[in-house]
Structure 1
Amino acid sequence: MQLKRTLLAAALMTACGLCAAVTLRVSNQGDVQSMDPHSLNESLQLSFTGNVYESLIERDKNMGLAPALATKWTQTSPTVWRFDLRQGVKFHDGTPFTADDVVFTFKRASGEGSDMKGYTNPIKEVRKAGEFAVDIETSAPYPILPDTLTTLGMMSRKWCEENKAERPVDRRKGIENTASFKANGTGPYRLKERQPSARTVLVRNFNHWAKPESNIDEVIFTPIGNDATRVAALLSGETDVMEPVPLQDVDRIKASGNITVLQGPELRTIFLGMDQRRDELQFSNVKGKNPFKDVRVRRAFYQAIDIETIKTRVMRGAATPTALMVGAAVRGFQPDMNKRLPYDPDAAKKLLTEAGYPNGFEVGMNCPNDRYVNDSAICQAVAANLARIGVKVNLQAETKVSYFPKILRRDTSFYLLGWTPSTVDSHDTLSSIMATPNDAGRGQFNLGWYSNPKFDDLVTRIQSETDQKRRNEYIREAFKIHQDDVGHIPLHQQALAWAHSNRVSLVQLPNNYMYFKWMTLKAR
């Protein structure tokens, strides 16, 4: 009889627990591409998987560095860092987290198919220094190493080997494996359900090592591509948190009375890239040569773009035009260099004529329509601007599901991209976006293959320079070379725009990462 009462009490407690479970509903204009934390170096991807997988070091609520799976890190020599690991941590399947998993993770992240090579590029070796300690040796002094480790999710060696997921999912080749749709991290939330392009469900990891700051038991993430539908879901209460907010709906949402709109500066820079490598430009009517190899053509494109009209009409003021590839909050930003080339269609036409294209030419342009704020509208405005100087842009705006694999293969002539330096340091952008690509990961997202040996030499110096004044001088010189070359065409830093029910409390970071562990939801 006593046993029956005990079982009944346990069942009632379980039922009450289920009844009291707190579910947070989140919507975004696009979906997370994979559950593999090394498959795509994109902020929505890393933000979402960052709730499931954890890095050695994380960003705190003020964007400072904080211990995560490493409790302490010290520099034992100019090129070696010792990381003491957190003990007692378990992956979601119950496997203990140890130094073997760290060594495995770095090998995986630097290997074939990984989109995270830019962070492992300076690393020479990762060595086990005990069950709960690793040494990371860099090829040269690398003072910002801790900053580079905040987005590299640690994976279970045992789980990856058992599930044949030793290599990352390769978005460029469309190669999938178990890590695409299953996950086994150490984070505060674990994966319950994955339906690509439909919904992804996370549930609380009750065995997480940290004291919980959230009451959220379940997160239902739903991609809603249509702006009007996404806003309607928010206003009706079907969605608790939405990102991004369509700029044209900000005032209407604010006026609803029960929704909070959070707006603030973002670290991301939106820019245009051009194929500067091929001898014959793809997707163009120009045969036998590549116009983008001529700096006069690149400068003509730059000066044809009416950035102020894009700011006021397309972005409704929620953008800061820029002449640099990093924003003001990024270490190494040079405020006196942030002066764009003047908008001047006549000067642009003259430059095209001097370059041998008096009647302009045709070129294909790739653009996402569900990744950045008003991304396809920006591309349409750019195309209209270029039409005024005789350039016919054949715009292909598409979902990021097909857009990213294409441009990451460099199967593009002219494209729009955004970049947030996760290190909050200029070196990240200089190395990942602007340096000449190599197999180790440098220039991995320099998709148009801009290349200048003097620039590359400066990036190497910036990477290892410990004197901050000299380092800043190198950064300044590198930006000047890139500006003179018009290696890319910077457009603006977009503004963050999140909206959430007044029942929700959350933390908005300038890198646009959304962490559920810092959210709470009040009862209705």
Structure 2
Amino acid sequence: MTPTRRIARRPSVRRRVALAAAGLVGVLVLSACSPGDAEPDATAAPEWELTAQTAVPSGDIDSFTWVSYSEPYSLDYAYAFDYADNQVLANVCESLLRLNPDYTLSPGLAESFEHPTPDTWVYTIREDVTFHDGTPLTAADVVTSMSRHLDPEVGSSWFSVYQNVAAIAQTGERQVTVTMTRPDSQFNLAMGGSAGVVESAATLADTGADYGNSTGLVNCTGPFALTDWKPGESVTLTRYDDYWDDALRARAGEVEILFMTDPNARVNALKSGEVDGGWMIPPDAIAQLQGSGKGDVYFGLNTAVGSLIVSDLEGPLGDQRVRQALLMAMDREGILDAAAQGYGEVTNALTTESVWVGASEAGLDEAFDGLEEYPYDLEAAKKLIDDAGVAGEEIVIATAPLGNDFAVISQGAAAAAQAIGLKATIQTVSPSAYTALFSDPTAREGVDLFYTSWYLSSPDPLEMYGVLRTGEFSNYGGWSDSDFDALVDEAVAIDDPAQRSEVTAQAQRIANEQLPWLPLFEGPMTVFLGDRVTGVAPSVAFLYYPWAATIGSR
């Protein structure tokens, strides 16, 4: 599908890392429009405010309801690798470090850490923290929890974080030391996400294979306990009254998170007031919700880039010219308008500037200035297809009924392929089967492309490019480039973020040239808050930060 309506673009805004590093509070105004204003001009680009924090609650609240686009695949932190999983787990389980809404890191279950040698990280574990069953947190729990990522029987989705770990040991009553096989700056940065979660060792032993599912549940240290999971329906979180951090003690007694895979059902539930809020509002519903009189839509910091993952390099997309041709045949501005209603901007990079925390000006310039832009040009794209000799060959594009953006992007990619002489088939699967594309190689068999809104879980772009090294778990197409691998390995060993950014920038340029994934656009994180509730920070950090704890009565 080639969208026929083009709307004016706002000037590109370079949101440099100072936005996060300065400890932003209040609102950064990118435009003059706010939720509840008059119906926007359909011929103009949408305008919005980037909000760091919504209004402070007037008081606590007995309970509130939330809506999620999908049921979690698992609440075992070793497999929590998607939005549906982590938005629940963030309120229940905690990590050694805390990833804050501005994408800075601060102490979590580790009250401090040290880096005494290039190959060691030493964590001092807090006292007076208890699990939801009342038992105390110990250093032994930390060792057990972290060691699961190294166990091939577990098959952790976060193994890549631990790939350079030689040993994890308790080295004091409240001390855990991680020894690396080589210097690894990324390990500690990842301790604010699922890779740093701590669970009770006794619970892991007692629940066994049922850990993290609807039968075994979890037993962590967060502001809420997971008290019920009704498969196919909802999970219930209950305030943990003995939570250790007074600053994040839950304002609500209970939270019910409902699973609604139908985007229309989600939107109707929000519009009617049936549920109090939800993350990741379908872009085509933003205007409806803004005018519903039932609450407000907020826009916040994001680290996600919407991209097409090339998952089969044995077929026609194995030729770099074909990948370039397909991207040039996609009217990305038009797709942004149709898929995201223009909320965002086209990008040629696989990272947002929001994750380049501590980067130097030289690193940012190298990373983003002068990238290959791949403008919409069908004739040039057709020539690349002819040069590659693949005219008439077929590609398969997987999609799922997760929202209008998935339909638009899959159809847009198929139309672009056909316009330049390829055949294209769209394969529609269930939401759960789509999630399996990211974890099960057999699910990707026969699939050439699938869409992702890929977020980063740490404040460093190297997380993205580490994914694309040869042989990595999430290098779904098996792309390989020795120069790229060498740059990523070099950057991993650099502790200083400014110096590291200048090497990472070179890796970003290789990815921009070779297109192992096809970058489409980036945009803000969205959240809807109904009239009853307020207090959330509308940031993609909701995947690791206990967002529900801050929500109270409006």
TM-score interval, normalised by the smaller of the two chains: 0.7 to 0.9
Aligned mates of 1:262, 1:338 — CA distance in 2: 31
The partner residue of 2:87 within 26, 47, 72 is 47
Aligned mates of 2:512, 2:100 — CA distance in 1: 34
Q: Which amino acid aligns with 1:310?
A: I
Instruction: Say which SS state the counterpart of residue 164 (structure 1) adopts.
Output: helix
Q: CA deviation at 1:421?
A: 1.4
Name the structure 1 match of 2:122: 82
Q: CA deviation at 1:205?
A: 1.0
The partner residue of 2:414 within 368, 383, 387 is 383
Aligned mates of 2:265, 2:426 — CA distance in 1: 25
Q: CA deviation at 1:491?
A: 0.9
Name the structure 1 match of 2:67: 27
Name the structure 1 match of 2:489: 460
Higher alpha-carbon deviation: 464-473 or 263-272: 464-473
Name the structure 2 match of 1:509: 539
Aligned mates of 2:201, 2:124 — CA distance in 1: 19
Aligned mates of 1:226, 1:495 — CA distance in 2: 22
Q: CA deviation at 1:512?
A: 4.7
Matching of residue 429 in structure 1 with residue 464 in structure 2: yes
Cα shift readout 1:413-446 (whole Å, capped 9, x = no counterpart) = 22222321111211100002x1112xxxxx2211
Aligned mates of 2:239, 2:382 — CA distance in 1: 58
Name the structure 1 match of 2:150: 110
Name the structure 1 match of 2:526: 497
5+ unaligned residues in a row in structure 1: which ranges?
1-19, 166-176, 279-289, 438-442
Aligned mates of 1:407, 1:248 — CA distance in 2: 26
Q: CA deviation at 1:468?
A: 4.8
Kindly indicate whether the alpha-carbon contact (under 8 Å) linking 1:420 and 1:511 is maintained by their aligned counterparts in 2: no
Aligned mates of 1:400, 1:302 — CA distance in 2: 25
Q: CA deviation at 1:391?
A: 2.2
Aligned mates of 2:338, 2:61 — CA distance in 1: 44
Report the CA distance shift for 1:103/1:337 in structure 2 as closer, same or farther (over 3 A).
farther
Aligned mates of 1:317, 1:487 — CA distance in 2: 25
Count of residue pairs brought into register by the alignment: 474
Matching of residue 262 in structure 1 with residue 298 in structure 2: yes
The partner residue of 1:295 within 320, 345, 350 is 320
Cα shift readout 1:317-349 (whole Å, capped 9, x = no counterpart) = 112211111012121552204442121111111
Q: How does 1:327-476 map to 2 (within 5 A)?
A: 327-331=352-356, 333=364, 334-358=367-391, 360-370=392-402, 374-410=405-441, 411=444, 412-432=447-467, 434-437=468-471, 443-468=472-497, 470-476=499-505
Cα shift readout 1:304-325 (whole Å, capped 9, x = no counterpart) = 1110111122211112211111
The partner residue of 1:227 within 256, 263, 276 is 263
Matching of residue 478 in structure 1 with residue 501 in structure 2: no
Matching of residue 179 in structure 1 with residue 212 in structure 2: yes
The partner residue of 1:162 within 195, 206, 210 is 206
Aligned mates of 1:469, 1:89 — CA distance in 2: 35
Q: Which amino acid aligns with 1:314?
A: A
Aligned mates of 1:387, 1:343 — CA distance in 2: 15
Report the CA distance shift for 1:275/1:34 in structure 2 as closer, same or farther (over 3 A).
closer
Aligned mates of 1:516, 1:265 — CA distance in 2: 14
Q: Which amino acid aligns with 1:93?
A: D
Kindly indicate whether the alpha-carbon contact (under 8 Å) linking 2:484 and 2:507 is maintained by their aligned counterparts in 1: yes
Cα shift readout 1:253-297 (whole Å, capped 9, x = no counterpart) = 22233411102342101111224554xxxxxxxxxxx32222121
Name the structure 1 match of 2:108: 68
* Matched-pair identity in %: 24
RMSD over aligned Cα, in angstroms?
2.1
Report the CA distance shift for 1:94/1:467 in structure 2 as closer, same or farther (over 3 A).
closer
Cα shift readout 1:336-364 (whole Å, capped 9, x = no counterpart) = 04442121111111111111123x32221
Q: Which amino acid aligns with 1:354?
A: D
5+ unaligned residues in a row in structure 2: which ranges?
1-59
Report the CA distance shift for 1:486/1:164 in structure 2 as closer, same or farther (over 3 A).
same
Q: CA deviation at 1:251?
A: 2.2
Name the structure 2 match of 1:320: 345
Q: Which portions of structure 1, spanning 4 or more consecutive aligned residues, are displaced by more than 4 angstroms? A: 467-470
Report the CA distance shift for 1:504/1:469 in structure 2 as closer, same or farther (over 3 A).
closer
Aligned mates of 1:420, 1:227 — CA distance in 2: 21
Q: CA deviation at 1:488?
A: 1.8
Q: CA deviation at 1:36?
A: 1.0
Structure of higher CA gyration radius = 1
Kindly indicate whether the alpha-carbon contact (under 8 Å) linking 2:104 and 2:459 is maintained by their aligned counterparts in 1: no
Q: CA deviation at 1:39?
A: 1.0
Report the CA distance shift for 1:328/1:368 in structure 2 as closer, same or farther (over 3 A).
farther
Instruction: Say which SS state the counterpart of residue 249 (structure 1) adopts.
Output: helix
Aligned mates of 1:36, 1:155 — CA distance in 2: 9
Cα shift readout 1:21-77 (whole Å, capped 9, x = no counterpart) = 711100022222212111132233223112111100002343221211110111111
Instruction: Say which SS state the counterpart of residue 134 (structure 1) adopts.
Output: strand
Instruction: Say which SS state the counterpart of residue 180 (structure 1) adopts.
Output: coil
Q: CA deviation at 1:373?
A: 7.2
Q: Which amino acid aligns with 1:208?
A: Y
Aligned mates of 1:130, 1:392 — CA distance in 2: 62
TM-score scaled to structure 1, two decimals? Answer: 0.85
Q: Which amino acid aligns with 1:163?
A: T
Kindly indicate whether the alpha-carbon contact (under 8 Å) linking 1:215 and 1:519 is maintained by their aligned counterparts in 2: yes
Q: CA deviation at 1:469?
A: 5.2
Name the structure 1 match of 2:163: 121
Q: Which amino acid aligns with 1:464?
A: A
